[in-house]
Amino acid sequence: MSRIPDPPPTRRVRLALAGFVAAALVATGCTLPTFAPRAEVEGEASVAPLGAAPRWRSCPETAEQVAGRAAPDMRYECARVAVPRRWNTTGQSATATPGGGETFEIALLRARSTKQRDRIGSLLVNPGGPGGSGVDTAVYLSFGEQFGGLPASVTERFDIVGFDPRGVARSSPVECISDADLDASFGYDPDPESTAAFDGLVALNQRIGRACGTRYGDQLSLYGTEQAALDMDVVRAAVGDEKLTYLGYSYGTLLGAVYAQRFPERVRALVLDGAIDPRQGAVAASESQAKGFERAFDNFVRWCAGNADRCPLAPDARAAVTSAVDKARVSPVRGADGREATSGWVFYAVISSLYTEQGWQELARAIDQLAQGDPAGVFRLADAYAGRNPDGTYSNLFDANLAVNCADDEEKPALKRIRQLQGQWREAYPLFGPALAVGLLTCANWPAKPDPYPTGKADGAPPILVVGTTGDPATPYEQTPALAAMLGVGRVLTWEGEGHTAYPQTSCVTEAVDAYLIDLTVPPEGLRCPAR
């Protein structure tokens, strides 16, 4: 993989939802099942032609598919809208490229509370990834604070609207990576030191690139972030809002930032939580993540040392995890079904656990069980991250992730440079650096031309709330002030907590974000919310 993407949508919310869907969850209770929606579903909403109003239909079955049941006091409606396959982005405005009239279908879900009052409009949500489903996320967020969703103060004033960006899940999905190649990619040694091992990873990425190029050709460049951000304005118009109110997590902050640059006069309020610095190239972004995951892992190690009653890896969790990865390289533990917990699967179990502080104890238990010959906990964590189903199939999260990242990235480092970075980052970030370096191979072998997004100020936009978490592994905190400064109208809200993204984690964060969304009250400059 290239940069470390988000796991399937809003892992934090799914953790909280575990109580009422326990029968559908993996034994840890860590995740809701990830479904791979078919491109066509019986009874799904018809597609509104380009520029036409959407035709909404009741769809409680979507909530049942995603979360096991519909949320109390919530109604769900679905629609599909058409967007141009290629927007003409020359000049100050964006228009459909003339000729052909080819379109993508964008899937929408609207969750509306039966207790809604004094409606403000719609809150558009995106979970990041890239490749995460906004439709799924809108369902999760509709369940309310007791399950980790949005507070009633928000759901009673806004429709919660999720969209699957182009190429993702239900929206003309990109599907070009075989399940076998995804298994090989996740299971591969995260630090292939020998020439033969490195060359094997190069060959695997070349095979993935060829498969996607053969299926989509030049169309792969259509999945970039700017094209998806322009689609968001179609969604804004489709729900009848003059201006956009938006909650974007992680990669969703990049979508929001690009929207604000393209349509500053159409912004009402944007919350960008888990900020990405759009000005970082592929190498800088990967090193930033290596640093962020290493820092988050150090926090886990310190927690473990101080909580030996809950962490069987104490007193030295780093040594225990490093040993587990090293042993898996030469003698992977085989599960009851014959599947081997290779070093790659152990590594992604670690990655998965760092997205929430609640995952730390699960990681400690999984690594301890692995040492005793049981890899089940490692597979539960890693599969939750990868979106791997029990039958070995995957959603299209990583197909879309590669298509978007590689369309966005102009920087294509040579193999020699990647090999050098692997060694340098092994010294600086021993557990995560090599994997982030060799992850650059993915886009280095991508067959389509890039379509980079703009980076600059959102002149004319109102204040935009940029939220960062000091212990965030995936979008390290340093990127939060960087995004705010780039936009020129950004106001930083800091959470001194752990894990990926902050809202709605604590009363301090929730109150600040809610006041901004509802009343457009901007938090005071420099507001920092404590971890608890």
Cite the active site residues: 250, 472, 500
Pairing of strands 244-249, 267-273: parallel
Long-range contacts, stretch 313-321, CB < 8 angstroms, 24+ apart: 313/364, 313/367, 313/368, 317/364, 318/431, 320/367, 320/368, 320/371, 321/297, 321/350, 321/363, 321/367, 321/431
Asked if omega into 130 is within 30° of 0 (cis), the reply is yes
Contact 382, 2 (CB under 8 A): no
SS (H, E, C) 318-349: HHHHHHHHHHHHHCCEECCCCCEECHHHHHHH
Tokens of 175: 């599907």
User: CB-based burial of residue 133 (10 Å sphere; 0-12 exposed, 13-18 middle, 19+ buried)?
Assistant: buried
- Report the C-alpha dihedral over residues 504, 508, 512, 517, rounded to 10 degrees: 20
Question: How far is the C-alpha of 226 from the C-alpha of 84, rounded, in Å?
Answer: 13
Phi, psi of 339 (to 5 degrees): -75, 140
Amino acid at position 283, single letter: V
- Residue 316 backbone phi and psi in degrees, to 5: -130, 85
Cβ-in-10-Å burial (0-12, 13-18, 19+) of 528 comes to exposed
Pairing of strands 464-471, 490-498: parallel
Q: For 427, left (φ over 0), alpha (ψ -120 to 50), or beta?
A: alpha
Report the C-alpha gap between 464 and 461 in whole angstroms. 8
Do the Cβ atoms of 163 and 225 come closer than 8 Å? no
53 touches 59 (CB < 8 A): no
Q: What is the CA radius of gyration of the chain?
A: 22
Residue 258 to residues 224, 448, 507: CA-CA distances in angstroms?
11, 22, 29
Q: Which residue's entry shows tokens 């906990």?
A: 377
Residue 141 and residue 158: Cα distance in Å, rounded?
Answer: 12
- Residue whose structure tokens are 């193999």: 415
> Do residues 325 and 370 lie in contact, with contact meaning Cβ atoms separated by under 8 Å?
no
